[in-house]
Amino acid sequence: MNLNFINDKTFTGKSFTSEALPKGEYDNCIFVNCDFSESYLSNINFLDCEFIDCNLSMVKTKGTTLKDVIFNNCKLVGFPFHDCNAFLFTVTFNDCQLKLSSFYNLKLKSTSFNSCKLEQTDFTNTDLSASKFIECNLYQTVFDNTNLEKVDFVTSYNLSINPETNRIKNASFSKENALGLLTTYKINIE
């Protein structure tokens, strides 16, 4: 199989829903206002790439490499990050919609989530140590057997974390969202 090497290219306003993005290695590429919804990105390498105002909902990502990839104002509903190549996996999210996405069993140390909607996102068995959740909506987000040591949750909201099934040493919470550490106990706080 011939592997395409695409460097320093900008893709603007493209739809990859009926005609797939060609398999290959995309290095230092920028995708602006592109539609990848329900498309196959399996076994494609994205290195030092940026996605801006793109729809990547319900994509297929078996073996996809995401190394130093930035997502800005993207829709990533149901994105199966857990299917991506875990080697060198590094991502940053700014103003993204990540509802129903899965980061199951990934190492996401020092990852930044800025102003993201993470409703019902799965972080089971994920290493999020030293990550930052800045002004994120964490409604029904799943944290189970998750390493949350040194994670910054201070400005996030709708938080519910069971301290008995997650590692939270030195994590930062505001007084308001710290109540989300007690939801598992089903107690009334007035």
Q: What pLDDT score was predicted for residue 180? A: 78
| Model pLDDT for residues 80-93, shown as the tens digit of each residue | 999 999 999 999 99
Instruction: Calculate the average pLDDT of the chain.
Output: 94
- For residue 172, the cross-strand partners are 152
Task: Provide the pairing of β-strand 91-94 with 45-47.
Answer: unpaired
DSSP letters, the chain, are ---EEEES-EEES-B-SSSPPPSEEEES-EEES-B-TT-B-TT-EEES-EEES-B-TT-B-TT-EEESEEEES-B-TT-BGGGS--TT--EEEES-B-TT-B-TT-B-TT-EEES-B-TT-B-TT-B-TT-EEES-B-TT-B-SS-B-TT-B-TT-BS----TTTSB-TT-B--TTGGGGGSGGG-----
Q: Which two tokens stand for residue 5?
A: 């090497």
| Model pLDDT for residues 56-80, shown as the tens digit of each residue | 999 999 999 999 999 999 999 999 9
CA–CA separation, 19 and 40 (whole Å): 10
Is 171 in contact with 151 (CB distance < 8 Å)? yes
Q: How confident is the model at residue 183 (pLDDT cuts 50, 70, 90)?
A: confident
| Model pLDDT for residues 133-174, shown as the tens digit of each residue | 999 999 999 999 999 999 999 999 999 999 999 999 999 999
CA–CA separation, 86 and 140 (whole Å): 25
Q: How confident is the model at residue 188 (pLDDT cuts 50, 70, 90)?
A: confident
